[in-house]
């Protein structure tokens, strides 16, 4: 069978406009013509190709007809981008992710051998620990489009609407070749509040379970929650792979400081080591915020990186509340506080502290309320 020029033009036109609906429609037409001309194998191959999900093309302005909440008209599914920044994980988490990716990539073989499991990965951990970032990486590594569903945005105050929204999402999600990211999963448990009639929680949980069960085995589902204990055990069971992400350990923080503050994989040893020790308890997002804030100041002020300011910000930050580097120099008061904090950390000599603060050793001693030893080194 030969395809006529008009059809070819239509295919190219639709493809260049990234109008996938039209590409599929013309494709289906050609497949039928192929079948009619006796090329059953060709028709089948083309149909299989058309069933594939198209690669995300948000930048082209193309937006798929996403399911929306009936009341607010807000989309319930968002097409996410593949991340361009690395995710830093400890060894154990890295292994879990690698195992999951390997199983997902070989799901056909595992299914043939009868040892396949659902490709469901549940990530739990505090805010800013990289759950959303990692979900995007999983989609990228599997070269699949990335669909993000925020369960909190699906909870509607209108009776019965929540379950309808959830059904709409699972009907929209393609049966193959996508990574479905269910974010904020604990939101389901919050249906238990007084806006909802009794029994709605059960209905919502059941709708999610049915939705998960309706997906074909090769759909990759990644769930994330900050409150794992709030999740219904039946939902928990739908995710055979679990990943506990916590605040980063010292060696992971070291990679983060090097990358976020210095933009490379190592950074200057001493500074990076000190920063990673002092930033215990902070999340990846906190470290990124402080570091990028300092780099922004350096660029806009046309000045070198204000390292004393970074140390100051780190010692003042609390998890989820990173302190930002401010304009100008540290005040005498701030220098005094920071000097004491650095001395108490036991990591730095007075000489180091003086150097970091850009003051003389005598001045550093004065800040610390200590006497400069007469046999000063």
Ligand X SMILES: Nc1ncnc2c1ncn2[C@@H]1O[C@H](COP(=O)(O)OP(=O)(O)OP(=O)(O)O)[C@@H](O)[C@H]1O
Q: Tell me which residues touch ligand X (CB under 6 A).
A: 85, 87-89, 127-133, 226, 284-285, 288
Judged by beta carbon, residue 67 or residue 130, the one nearer Mg ion is 130
Instruction: Residue 94: name its binding partner from Mg ion, ligand X, none (Cβ under 5 to 8 Å by kind).
Output: none
The nearest distance, CB 247 to ligand X, in angstroms, is 9
Distance (Å, rounded) from C-alpha 191 to C-alpha 162?
9
For 296, how many CA atoms within 13 A lie in the half-sphere containing its CB?
10
Distance (Å, rounded) from C-alpha 324 to C-alpha 311?
11
Backbone φ and ψ for 21, nearest 5 degrees, come out as -60, -45
Does 153 bind Mg ion (CB under 5 A)? Our answer is: no
Instruction: Determine the 3-state secondary structure of 12 from DSSP.
Output: helix
Judged by beta carbon, residue 163 or residue 317, the one nearer ligand X is 317
Instruction: Residue 88: name its binding partner from ligand X, Mg ion, none (Cβ under 5 to 8 Å by kind).
Output: ligand X
Instruction: Residue 87: name its binding partner from ligand X, Mg ion, none (Cβ under 5 to 8 Å by kind).
Output: ligand X
Does 132 bind Mg ion (CB under 5 A)? Our answer is: yes
What number of chain residues touch Mg ion (CB under 5 A)?
A: 2
Contact 325, 310 (CB under 8 A): yes
Judged by beta carbon, residue 256 or residue 357, the one nearer ligand X is 256
Judged by beta carbon, residue 118 or residue 131, the one nearer Mg ion is 131
For 364, how many CA atoms within 13 A lie in the half-sphere containing its CB?
21
Instruction: Residue 47: name its binding partner from ligand X, Mg ion, none (Cβ under 5 to 8 Å by kind).
Output: none
CA angle in degrees (0–180, nearest 5) for 304-309-314: 130
Q: Residue 242: which residues within 8 A CB-CB, separation 6 or more?
A: 96, 121, 122, 123, 124
Distance (Å, rounded) from C-alpha 314 to C-alpha 322?
7
The nearest distance, CB 213 to ligand X, in angstroms, is 26
The nearest distance, CB 60 to ligand X, in angstroms, is 24
Judged by beta carbon, residue 42 or residue 319, the one nearer Mg ion is 319
Instruction: Please give the residue ranges that form the binding site for Mg ion (CB under 5 A).
Output: 131-132
């Amino acid at each position: 069978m030969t395809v006529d020029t008009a059809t070819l033009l239509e295919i190219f036109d639709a493809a260049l406009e990234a109008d996938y609906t039209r590409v599929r429609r013309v494709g289906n037409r050609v497949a039928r013509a192929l079948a009619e001309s006796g090329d059953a194998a060709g028709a089948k191959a083309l149909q299989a190709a058309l069933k594939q999900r198209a690669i995300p093309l948000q930048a082209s302005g193309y937006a798929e007809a996403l399911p929306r909440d009936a009341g607010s008209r807000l989309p319930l599914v968002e097409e996410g981008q593949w991340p361009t920044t690395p995710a830093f994980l400890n060894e154990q988490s890295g292994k879990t992710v690698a195992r999951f990716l390997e199983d997902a990539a070989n799901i056909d073989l595992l299914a043939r051998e009868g040892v396949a499991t659902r490709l469901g990965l549940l990530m739990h951990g505090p805010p800013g620990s990289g759950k959303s970032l990692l979900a995007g990486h999983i989609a990228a590594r599997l070269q699949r489009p990335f669909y993000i569903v925020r369960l909190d945005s699906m909870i509607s105050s209108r009776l019965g609407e929540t379950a309808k929204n959830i059904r709409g999402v699972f009907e929209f999600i393609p049966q193959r070749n996508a990574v479905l990211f269910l974010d904020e999963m604990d939101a389901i448990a919050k249906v238990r509040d007084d806006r909802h009639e009794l029994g709605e929680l059960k209905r919502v949980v059941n709708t999610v379970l049915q939705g998960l069960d309706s997906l074909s085995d090769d759909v990759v589902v990644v769930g994330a929650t900050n409150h794992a204990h709030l999740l219904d055990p039946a939902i928990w069971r739908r995710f055979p792979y679990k990943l506990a992400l916590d605040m980063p350990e010292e060696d992971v923080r070291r990679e983060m400081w090097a990358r976020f503050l210095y933009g490379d994989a190592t950074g200057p040893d001493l500074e990076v080591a000190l920063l990673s020790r002092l930033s215990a308890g902070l999340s990846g997002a906190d470290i990124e915020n402080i570091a990028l804030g300092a780099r922004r100041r350096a660029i806009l002020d046309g000045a070198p990186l204000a390292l004393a300011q970074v140390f100051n910000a780190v010692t003042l930050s609390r998890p989820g509340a990173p302190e930002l580097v401010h304009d100008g120099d540290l005040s005498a008061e701030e220098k005094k506080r920071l000097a004491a904090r650095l001395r108490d950390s036991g990591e730095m000599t007075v000489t180091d502290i003086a150097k970091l603060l850009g003051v003389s050793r005598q001045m550093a001693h004065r800040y610390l309320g200590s006497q400069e030893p007469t046999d000063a080194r």
